[in-house]
Structure 1
Amino acid sequence: MMHSPPLQLLPVSTDHYWVSGDVAIAPGAAIAPGVLLQADPDSQIVIGVGVCIGMGSILHASGGRLTIGDGAMIGAGVLIVGAIGIGDRVCIGSATTISNRSVGSGTLIPPGSLLCAESAPSPQPESAADPWEEQASEPSLAHNGQPSDMFSQNGTPPPTSDLSSPEPVLKEPPQADASELPDNHNLGNRDAAIVQKSNLQPGVYGQVYVNQLLGKLIPNRNSNP
């Protein structure tokens, strides 16, 4: 817990504060003893009407204009630094520090507060590349040893089987009716007759035709001794 310094009750006077640089004080402003009003070169302090500044406070204008709005109340031991604006009717508690941060009108700041300019976030350091992510980003190989994302290099997708086409259906041969099948006994007799007939035929092909032709040309060929 922060403890505020004890305040010394001294009579308010305009003869015991110190001014340095370009400082403009409006009529009716009350400034306690021990107050320091300092403006750097090319800077300015402007104190509005009815402003009350507690003893031991420091107002330091740096890099521009430091403005205290009308009717603002600044407690004892307050430090205000920078080129900022304190709005009208602002009440700042004792032992408060305000650096490069403006305060809107009608704002109440408790004692012992610290208000600083919001700094820009520091850049994040570049993290080292993860080797596992690099391996995961490499193209995976298919079963035949070719990269699966080969089409990303040459612009043509790899041939793939059409999964949507239906598979061909094999049809079974029609079964004949039992009544249409020939009898085995008749088949056996027919085969035996064919074998017997083949045995009776002459061994030379076309011999019968030649004999018939010779019989027509030479009718008496068989009657010669």
Structure 2
Amino acid sequence: MALFDLDHTLLPIDSDYTWGEFTQQIGWTDPVEFKRRNDEFYAHYVAGTLDVHDYVRFAVEALRERGPEAYREAHARFMDEWIAPRLRAAALDLVRAHQQAGDLVAIVTATNELVTRPIAAAFGVPELIAVELERDASGWITGEIAGVPSMREGKVVRVTKWLAGRGLDWLDVESTFYSDSLNDLPLLEHVDHPVATNPDARLRTIALERGWRILDLFERE
């Protein structure tokens, strides 16, 4: 089993933060106030102090207000203009190598499903474990998280549940997880083969101390 974090691991950017920048560009959000709060939330994420529920309410507010059709049109543009130019051959080849080896492959990300599902598809990965969003009676998002968010310890919980849905547990698989972030330490510690990928300074230090593999696929943006 090969598990991949997404932001700064397979992508050189943080897709959640970048989606926020994109919404500013297209006029969905106030360019000054949204940027201030987006930067603040991102700093908390880097520091490991993010309240993911507060962040998701903030991050999806513009989407929730505009509805599914506007989302589909905007995200298609986001993929063309912001994501496609940042699909690195090294990351695509790494995913493909695991798939060709017959491994069970999934992307496990703390970014919400609406931002990341099309990105996972661009990597050719149908199995996505992301922050799931609560839906109202019409099927559209409410702004709240549904279930356990796939962040920090929640990634271990969500992958465990995902495996159970396939009649498997951790003892049934030889697991590898690629991640750049100290936030992913719980899952990195849980797998058989942790790989610090384009790691931030704190994770690089831990990887060196513990003798974990370090993989630098590309420069982080």
- Shorter-normalised TM range: under 0.3
Decide which structure has the larger Cα Rg and report it: 1
Which has a greater percent of helix?
A: 2
* Bigger RCO (CA 8 Å, 6+ sep): 2
With the length of structure 1 as denominator, give the TM-score of the two structures: 0.19
